[in-house]
Structure 1
Amino acid sequence: MSTAAARIADLLEDVPTASNPPGPHPAPAPDPAAEEPPRADGPVLVVTVVWGDLAQVPADLHVTGHYQSVAPAAAELALDAAISAGPRRTITEHTKLGWIGAQLGEVTYFPCKDGGPVRTAAVVGMGPMGTLTERRAHQMYASLLGEAVALGHVGTMATVLIGSGTGNLTVNQAARALVGGFAGILASAGPTQPTQPTPTVTQPTSAPAPRLTDVFVVEVDRLRAEQLHLALTRAAAKLPRLRIGPELREESGGRLFAPSAAVYALTALTGLARSEGAAAHDGSPGGTDPPDSPDPSDALHTVLAGFAPDIRREIREQLAHLAEVARTDLSLTVGRAMDDPEASGPGSGSVPVRMSVQSGIGGLRWAALTGRATVPERLVPVDMDLLRELVERLTEPTVEDAIELPDLLSRFVVPPDFQRLVTDDATVLLELDRDTASVPWEFLAGSRQAGGEQRDPLAIRTRLSRQLRTPYSRVMTEGLSDGPLRALVIGDPGDPEKGFQLPGARTEALAVATRLRDLGAKVTLFVGAANSTRQPGVDPARRLDVLRVLLCGGNHIVHYCGHSDFDPTGTGRRSGWVFADGLLTAQELALLERPPRIVVANACYTARLGGATGPGTPGTPGKPGAQPGAADQSPWGNPQAALVPSLADEFLRMGVGHYIGAAWRIPDDQGVSFAEEFYTHLLTGGAGGSGGSGGSEDAPPTVGDAVRAARKRLYEQRATGQRPPDTAPNGQRWSAWAAYQHYGDAADPFDRPDPSDRPGGS
């Protein structure tokens, strides 16, 4: 591209995207108004492009887009902050609880705090991430305008260019979708009736014109606002009922991001170069502009004034040469600036990468959403038999498999363009269904060149957490913010007469209770069944007593060490923790008004309840000596792999914020190491820990940071040097770090309920 001929439009986003690839014969933009002769006597809607902050633009209704199950970011997050009265943001909390359906075009309304700049707020559904195309966006905009018109009391609406925020659509594509959707609704309203004398006979009249007269499309970045105004003006040029404001309107809150500033600077530089070149050809002395010629370089005068005259003259000469070059080695990619790092959690430094992996017929359905782009949903063919075998071998793997198979997992299951995402050191959130949750994604390492150096796994390099896609809405609960930090610790509650005694679980429970007390928590401890060897000074773990403390104790943290199992007598795939007197499931906790914030469970699958026969130590499913139970119904053929997702599903349903569980048996000392590092990092920001980065004074540590620090500690404790013998215990020790799965938001900060209760506090 000739630098002298560079234009802002050439340097921005007027290019096809993955979800809207160019075709040999591009289809024209949809124009519903073309279906009938244009009528100028109907309702007219004025669309004004505003440079500013959406929440600061006065309007009767403020609207942003919302992807299914995706936490607010960018404009939606700003709107969320504007309408929320307390620290718990309204739209964010509704998203976590699954209360926003976000079907395409579905509008959800939210209450707003009194006295705020926003009176009425709503989000319009964009469907699952990765599925928004220009045609679907057209339908979404039509639904949005139809809803706003139907309200009857909305005269002005402020929104953003929905669909272009993360690169799913270009500005031009999203602008065409907006114009097409709005025009269709306006065309269906029919013409208004002219004023006439009162008729002597009753005559039918058309539907009244909508009260909505103005829509403000707000853009926070100045250059994108200019581009948006141009795109809307072109798209609506032949639509008499849809008028685009002739000028860009400025409101407070507008910004100029670095990429846009670079484009403005480049434009000014090329203008200056053209001016210098023209002056040189005219023979002007010194290569300066003619006195009567307008100087296009006003934006650079302040900067250039700081240089000595000789240097300033040299700069001008170089710019003149640049203007004469037909092509240049300069490669400039301009896109929307990254969202505020605060949007992805304290101290994160980057916008999270959100990947959706769902099971489908013949393969896996992938989609992704990052701070800069949306990767559209696609079906990736995968041989499910091979995938089942891979899951089997990576569930409590041997040392050899733990070393060799993670790279295969990244190459065999993850599409190439998604592999580039997982190699980026940004927080990763995996949205999974009950089937794909059985895959040990913690082993993802990112693809590498053949013979290249092996990188640390993704779960060690950054925060990685999971979210289950479920059809239900979670329970809305009152937060636990009062009083001291309280924790419930349960160890080895199984019946020893049935072979469920676990001495290592007792050791872990006692060590965890001691560490939590040292960190300032008030701990309730239950260890062993009533008919087992009693721990001096510690109450036995009976289901009824544990349930009493759970329902009445208001515990922030619950830590469980013992056996878990599926309940084959119930409908579906209910699961829970094994006690000597039965299975404790989330069903028993349904009346819990304030569930724990965090549940940590080092719970191995028993394969013994509900019809399994034979005494002795429970076998490992899928391994030699395993004893299959009646609940062995996992689609991957390994109930152990499905245990943690099943337990997480049960507890998250009742309102638990985070569930952290081990997907296979962990050596006793490593279970203690993980727990101690996790709680140390969580409650002190990493002080005294051996892994992870320390917390800052102004931001509490996140749950994801604590999980990563604990994983890293186990990862660094693996056998080094010569590989140990390939036995089951050593295999567990080598891969224990990957067994821990975190269900919840990795960027969720953990605020202690009583900061003064810290060790050494007042």
Structure 2
Amino acid sequence: MVITPAARIADLLEDVPTASNPPAQLPADEPPRTGGPTLTVTVVWGDLAKVAADLHVTGHYQSVVPAAAELALDRAISGGPRPLITEHTKLGWIDAQLGEVTYFPCKAGPVRSAAVVGMGPMGTLTERRAIQMYASLLGEAIALGHVGTMATVLIGSGTGNLAVNQAARALVRGFAGVLASLGPPTSPPRLTEVLVVEVDRLRAEQLLLTLTNAAAKLPQLRIGPELREESGGQLFAPSAAVYALTALTRLAGPAGAAARDGMPGGPNPLAGEEALRTLLAGFDPNIQRKIHEQLAHLAEVERTDMSLTVRGSVEAQDDSVPVRMSVQSGVGGLRWAALTGRATVPERLVPVDMDLMRELVDRLTEPSVEDARELPDLLSRFVVPPDFQRLLTDDATVLLELDRDTASVPWEFLAEIQQAGGEKRDPLAIRTQLSRQLRTPYSRVMTEGLADGPLRALVIGDPGDPEKGFQLPGARSEALAVATQLKNLGAKVSLFVGAANSTRQPGVDPARRLDVLRVLLCGGNHIVHYCGHSDFDASGTGRRSGWVFADGLLTAQELALLERPPLIVVANACYTARLGGTTGPGTQAGPPGVADQSPWGNPQAALVPSLADEFLRIGVGHYIGAAWRIPDDQGISFAEQFYTHLFKDWPSEAAPTVGGAVRTARKRLYEQRAARQQQPDTAPNPQRWSSWAAYQHYGDAADPFVRPDPIDRPGGS
């Protein structure tokens, strides 16, 4: 039995009354309260950032990077290259507790003052909680004293889990409750009008209708009778389809004829019938009759009650709203929530047997060929809720928000659940961009951006002590190949290969920890590429993870003073348990630490999340690491494809994304695996078979990679 706090159940199961969750008594169910000030709510068809008001507000989910209206507002208030709300979100500076308002400075323009109101964690915004949020927002706006008009959107209905009518009811009830509680004032509040802005025309009509109906018996609120038009309004494909279908239904049946007759200047009924016959001319007569009947039936439906989904091209996925899934460890299972461009799937707890989960993670970490073939489907069936499965498509980028425990799971193996006899599709991480983000308790640092100038890269290969068995010839080959490629692509490269007591690479400096630290702290590197061993340091008071050098472990602690951390860190770093107190190969180092205490019990699986956590903390934008050993040529192939994609001459409006580069590199390894499978005399190599899934990307998949200028071509130093 899974035990969940009663408050959580009350929040998430609002419509399922229990002893701990009695039926909600919402303000609209009570007699209308009289007295108090009044407020006008006007629905505006336009762009929120272009509508003049004293205060502009959108909603904000915890840890969710702005999209849609919030992103438009973010761009409107941001004068520099870093969007303010986006940067504050990435740095963990917006708490976004339910109803908490966070303000931002603005540059000159229609938006003079901007704020976001907290919606809590994604998946938890019910209608009851939305009422509290709206009440908090209006109460704060009134208390400011200088706000006469406030512009907002229907918070919770765009990329939220509320229908338009639910969000509209929440706004009306939240606002009315605040106004009624004020009582007859000696002087009315300065705030007299709230503009609810909707960029899509049909949704604006729907919003006006639902707000009017919801506020019909509430004297504190006056809903403007007409839709106001401002600049920036659009007609998106689904709404255009509804309007077109509505016009088509007017051509069918008696209801359509009546509608036509009542339209000033409308078409002649006979002409309409002729137009319909022309449209249907290519169909069988029986089909024509059925289409005519269905159109006549649709003619009775108001267009504001209609909703259509129009799917876009898969090729446009880089510009689409990503699917964000949150997977957090909980008591007795995993807590899931999802946020998409159209809806939110509310949070729920999925019971999981931890012993089975531990075995599944172990077997999918550097898996055998058989496990790599058979277990991904089990992973999807065992831990992914059924209604989340339909989100695992190739229509949009997928961002997984994980904690330190769930980050140990090899989610890159996620696949669509296959029905018996169905065609097996490629894994999700091959079909689309799949990236990870860590939910951590700390706030990241705001760092100075790298200045314009030649792109700089630091490449480190095989820095371990050969006398302790840490030499990796393949790491040397990868470092040399990556350095050559980056130089050819125009980067200035600092290269360090091999420990000081190892066989020297002619013309290349040895990889001493102090020398590497000097270049890291002083070199202003955009890219750092590491090939070698990684481990956990159990000495001292804490357990740190880092890169193994002959003279010690280089961790993010040594990099804490970085004023300009690298944008991208790529680490093909395999785990070793021989650091510190080593007496020979295979010796286990130190006492159990954080990684060993993970519920999954696999230090190898915990290594990349631990390293990513350390480096993201100091301000690194993207950490890409291999979760298990990769064949030498596969590591080189991944790096080659990754950097080729990043440095490709894309159109100026379509800069490459880091997530897109990771997907391209994964896909190359996956195709190489498939090609070898077709050779009957070649036995599959386990490491080669699953190397595509070993690479984990921590960061914003949609983050564009814009090369600094100028770039010296060719070569570097």
TM-score normalized by structure 1? Answer: 0.84
CA distance in 1, matches of 2:165, 2:275: 44
Structure 2 equivalent of residue 131 of structure 1: 124
Range with bigger deviation, 380-389 or 493-502: 493-502
Give the secondary structure class of the aligned counterpart of 1:599.
strand
Q: 1:363, 1:379 within 8 Å by CA — same for their partners in 2? A: yes
Identity %: 77
Structure 2 equivalent of residue 93 of structure 1: 87
Q: 1:440, 1:738 within 8 Å by CA — same for their partners in 2? A: yes
Deviation at 1:525, TM superposition (A): 0.6
Structure 2 equivalent of residue 744 of structure 1: 699
Structure 1 equivalent of residue 57 of structure 2: 63
Residue 669 (structure 1) aligned with residue 669 (structure 2): no
CA distance in 2, matches of 1:268, 1:382: 51
Deviation at 1:510, TM superposition (A): 1.1
Structure 2 equivalent of residue 183 of structure 1: 176
CA distance in 2, matches of 1:340, 1:100: 33
Letter in 2 for 1:666: I
CA distance in 1, matches of 2:338, 2:291: 45
Structure 1 equivalent of residue 677 of structure 2: 720
Structure 2 equivalent of residue 197 of structure 1: none
* 1:532-547 alignment runs, 5 A limit: 532-547=502-517
CA distance in 2, matches of 1:627, 1:486: 36
CA distance in 1, matches of 2:62, 2:265: 47
Give the counterpart of 1:457 among 424, 427, 433.
427
Structure 1 equivalent of residue 473 of structure 2: 503
Letter in 2 for 1:376: P
CA distance in 2, matches of 1:756, 1:134: 53
Give the counterpart of 1:84 among 73, 78, 81.
78
Deviation at 1:372, TM superposition (A): 1.3
* 1:142-541 alignment runs, 5 A limit: 142-166=135-159, 168-193=161-186, 208-273=187-252, 293-295=261-263, 298=266, 311=278, 322=293, 334-335=306-307, 348-541=318-511
Q: 1:134, 1:169 within 8 Å by CA — same for their partners in 2? A: yes
Structure 1 equivalent of residue 7 of structure 2: none
Letter in 2 for 1:101: D
* 1:751-762 alignment runs, 5 A limit: 751-754=706-709, 756-757=711-712
CA distance in 1, matches of 2:153, 2:374: 47
The Cα offsets for residues 339-380 of structure 1, whole Å up to 9 and x where unpaired, read as: 999xx9986153211111101111111111111111110001
Residue 109 (structure 1) aligned with residue 79 (structure 2): no
Structure 2 equivalent of residue 615 of structure 1: 584
Give the secondary structure class of the aligned counterpart of 1:102.
coil
Structure 2 equivalent of residue 709 of structure 1: 664
Structure 1 equivalent of residue 26 of structure 2: 30
Structure 1 equivalent of residue 568 of structure 2: 598
Give the secondary structure class of the aligned counterpart of 1:78.
helix
Q: 2:238, 2:310 within 8 Å by CA — same for their partners in 1? A: no
Give the counterpart of 1:54 among 43, 48, 55.
48
Structure 1 equivalent of residue 644 of structure 2: 680
Structure 2 equivalent of residue 283 of structure 1: none
Give the secondary structure class of the aligned counterpart of 2:92.
coil
Letter in 1 for 2:60: H
Deviation at 1:132, TM superposition (A): 0.5
Gaps of 5+ in 1: 1-17, 194-207, 280-287, 620-625, 686-694
Structure 2 equivalent of residue 140 of structure 1: 133
Structure 2 equivalent of residue 643 of structure 1: 607
The Cα offsets for residues 259-313 of structure 1, whole Å up to 9 and x where unpaired, read as: 223333333444454557768xxxxxxxx97xxx533784x789x7998899599
Deviation at 1:627, TM superposition (A): 7.7
The Cα offsets for residues 13-45 of structure 1, whole Å up to 9 and x where unpaired, read as: xxxxx987688999677217947x7333x2211
Deviation at 1:162, TM superposition (A): 0.4
Alignment CA distance shift 1:241-1:566 (3 Å): same
Structure 1 equivalent of residue 537 of structure 2: 567
Give the secondary structure class of the aligned counterpart of 1:358.
strand
CA distance in 2, matches of 1:731, 1:536: 34
Q: 2:531, 2:571 within 8 Å by CA — same for their partners in 1? A: yes
Deviation at 1:551, TM superposition (A): 0.7
CA distance in 1, matches of 2:292, 2:477: 76
Alignment CA distance shift 1:334-1:657 (3 Å): farther
Deviation at 1:469, TM superposition (A): 0.5
Q: 1:409, 1:444 within 8 Å by CA — same for their partners in 2? A: yes
CA distance in 2, matches of 1:445, 1:189: 54
Alignment CA distance shift 1:615-1:180 (3 Å): same
CA distance in 2, matches of 1:602, 1:468: 20
Alignment CA distance shift 1:336-1:531 (3 Å): farther
Q: 2:45, 2:201 within 8 Å by CA — same for their partners in 1? A: yes
Range with bigger deviation, 242-251 or 390-399: 242-251
The Cα offsets for residues 435-461 of structure 1, whole Å up to 9 and x where unpaired, read as: 000000111111111232321111111
Structure 2 equivalent of residue 14 of structure 1: none
Alignment CA distance shift 1:188-1:720 (3 Å): same
Letter in 2 for 1:232: L
Q: 2:538, 2:590 within 8 Å by CA — same for their partners in 1? A: no
Q: 2:242, 2:308 within 8 Å by CA — same for their partners in 1? A: no
Give the secondary structure class of the aligned counterpart of 1:246.
coil
CA distance in 2, matches of 1:758, 1:392: 46
Q: 1:61, 1:158 within 8 Å by CA — same for their partners in 2? A: yes
TM-score normalized by structure 2? Answer: 0.89
CA distance in 1, matches of 2:175, 2:672: 60
CA distance in 2, matches of 1:465, 1:219: 31
Structure 2 equivalent of residue 43 of structure 1: 37
Q: 1:271, 1:296 within 8 Å by CA — same for their partners in 2? A: no
Q: CA RMSD in A?
A: 3.5
Letter in 2 for 1:39: T
Q: 2:428, 2:434 within 8 Å by CA — same for their partners in 1? A: yes
The Cα offsets for residues 579-630 of structure 1, whole Å up to 9 and x where unpaired, read as: 111111111111101000000001111111245x5412x58xxxxxx88864
CA distance in 2, matches of 1:106, 1:277: 50
Range with bigger deviation, 500-509 or 60-69: 500-509
Letter in 1 for 2:691: A
Q: 1:268, 1:296 within 8 Å by CA — same for their partners in 2? A: no
Give the secondary structure class of the aligned counterpart of 1:717.
helix
The Cα offsets for residues 679-698 of structure 1, whole Å up to 9 and x where unpaired, read as: 1111125xxxxxxxxx4454
Gaps of 5+ in 2: 1-11, 283-287
CA distance in 2, matches of 1:739, 1:696: 31
Larger radius of gyration: 1
CA distance in 1, matches of 2:572, 2:538: 22
Alignment CA distance shift 1:327-1:44 (3 Å): closer
Give the secondary structure class of the aligned counterpart of 1:260.
helix
CA distance in 2, matches of 1:256, 1:301: 28
How many matched pairs? Answer: 692
Q: 1:355, 1:369 within 8 Å by CA — same for their partners in 2? A: yes
CA distance in 1, matches of 2:633, 2:460: 17
Letter in 2 for 1:357: V
CA distance in 2, matches of 1:571, 1:401: 38
